[in-house]
Chains A and B, each alone.
Chain A
Amino acid sequence: MSGHADENLSASAAGTIEATAAAWLRQKQSDWSESQQRQLDEWLAQSQAHCVAFWRLEAAWERSARLEALRPLSQRVVVSASRKPFRIFARVAAAMVVVAGLGVALTLVWPQPSDAVYATAVGQRKHITLGDGTRIELNTNSVLRLVSAVAERKVVLERGEAFFDVTHNAERPFVVIAGAHRIKDLGTKFTVRQNRDNLQVALTEGLAEIGPIDGRGSDHSLVLKPGDVAIASTRGLAVVRRSADEMSDEMAWRRGMLVFNHTSLGDAAAEFNRYNGAKLIIADPAIAGRTIGGKFSTADINGFVEIIQKLLGVRVTHQGQDFVVSH
């Protein structure tokens, strides 16, 4: 019952609290650290009024994720307003200048109103079929931009993970740009995943070539065969071989599943956190190193928590909507 006096203090009390709640929710959309989460939890714990204001805004914002379905690609609100691509796409731009040097018209490369952008919210997946029959499945929390170009079909994976089943056309190769790398299809099914500090390409069928975005010679690129998983970082490019079963586990997200096989709890938690608003926080490094196996629905964070409680004898407590795992 505490706090009533505060809440009734002034006519604008609710408005002030709501403004603060909105600022929290906004910050939570981008880079969000554990210490920020702690601060938010503290703020929420201060008063029930803080909780209801935040819960309400968050619930509405989560509902608004469905807005995406409304988006008419032909008349997007966006780019027409003012085009200032220089600073924004600095990273892409740096690479593109090189491409331009290679003779590709610059206009093909800048973001244009005709670009189509597909995005998924956390926990969402999306199927896209392009005009040429190429199928793309976008995984959770991902952004993919289609850049129309004459010489090649180009898409930019700006964030997240996508599976590509490419309709091969030798005349117009299909190229995926991700970070500093480009993956060129040679008749292919493959997945591209952007991690924080590396890029992972898993190929299930056909052939694809991965190399640096600036198109340096074949010394710097690799041809991937079925079963190959390439990991590219700023330090280099490595390829590992996976069995068909392991490859199928790799692609389990396409069925809405996560498959763990001697996976550390830390990695498993990171996987779940890609798909869910509620986060799993492993409070103790010793626990994060313990390994588990099993198949889980990407959304079934509760089921996973229940199982690790039983299986590993760890303690799980709630912190806001999140789960904190400790001894």
Chain B
Amino acid sequence: MTETPEFHRETEALRETGAGMNTAEVKAWFVREVLPLETALMQYLHHNMGKSGDAADLRQDVYVRVCEAARRQVPNPVRPFVFTIARNLLIDRMRHEQVVPIEAVSDLEALNVAIEAPGAERAVMARDELRRLQIALDRLSPRCREVVVLARIEGLSGRVIAARLGISESAVSQQLDNGMRALADVLYGEPQDLRKSQ
């Protein structure tokens, strides 16, 4: 639990591991190792960005860098590597925008993000999966929820859903796209502690 955070030793962490990965491997690794960190990552980004800018944009940049690195060499351990990249990108951005002094970027230790036991997120995820999914569904607008339920649970096509709900097929597409994006945000991005939303 109290292993030394390794975010200052990015290059060392990289050197510990062997070869890089192909696209399919990067994908599997990204889904398995990186996405579960999203809640913590988003908290970190929000915390440091305040209201300025779009944390989702930065999140995307972090993921891009992480995956590009993984193609060359698998980062290990993953967590400090991801947060080091996030921190560097935050600093770059602030330097560029001259919003806040660079010192304002909080240290990773202060946020306690780098020292949790590996895999903690995944364990929480598995345990709370159904509740999380239910909540994710509840967050959608009623129409969007309806469309997602019909598509995902009932397995109906866009055409059939459109006919059933009496709306156009393009409206169904739009709702479904929104629903997919919202589900990803809630499933990966929102805090693990879901009690407040019940």
Contact = CB atoms under 8 A, between A and B. Distances in A.
Interface of A: 1, 3-4, 7-8, 11-15, 17-19, 22-23, 25-26, 29-30, 47-49, 51-53, 55-57, 59-61, 63-71, 76-79, 81-85, 87-88, 117, 119-121, 141, 143, 159, 318, 320-321
B98 to A, nearest CB: 16
**Chain B interface, DSSP helix/strand/loop, else mixed:** helix
B129 A64 contact: no
Interface stretch (B1-9, B116-124, B144-152): B144-152
Contact of B164 (A22, A67, A78): A78
Contacts of A117: 154
Interface residues of B, number: 53
Q: Which of A11, A81, A318, A320 has the most CB of B within 10 A?
A: A81
Contacts of A26: 158, 173, 176-177, 180
B171 interface: no
**Chain A interface, DSSP helix/strand/loop, else mixed:** helix
Contact of A65 (B64, B152, B165, B166): B152
A12 B152 CA distance: 28
A79 B157 CA distance: 15
Contact of A14 (B54, B134, B155, B178): B54
B153 A71 contact: yes
B24 A8 contact: no
Interface of B: 22-24, 26-27, 30-31, 35, 53-54, 56-57, 59-61, 63-64, 67-68, 129-130, 133-134, 136-137, 145-146, 148-158, 160, 163-166, 173, 176-178, 180-181, 183-184, 187-188
B152 A321 contact: no
A60 B27 contact: no
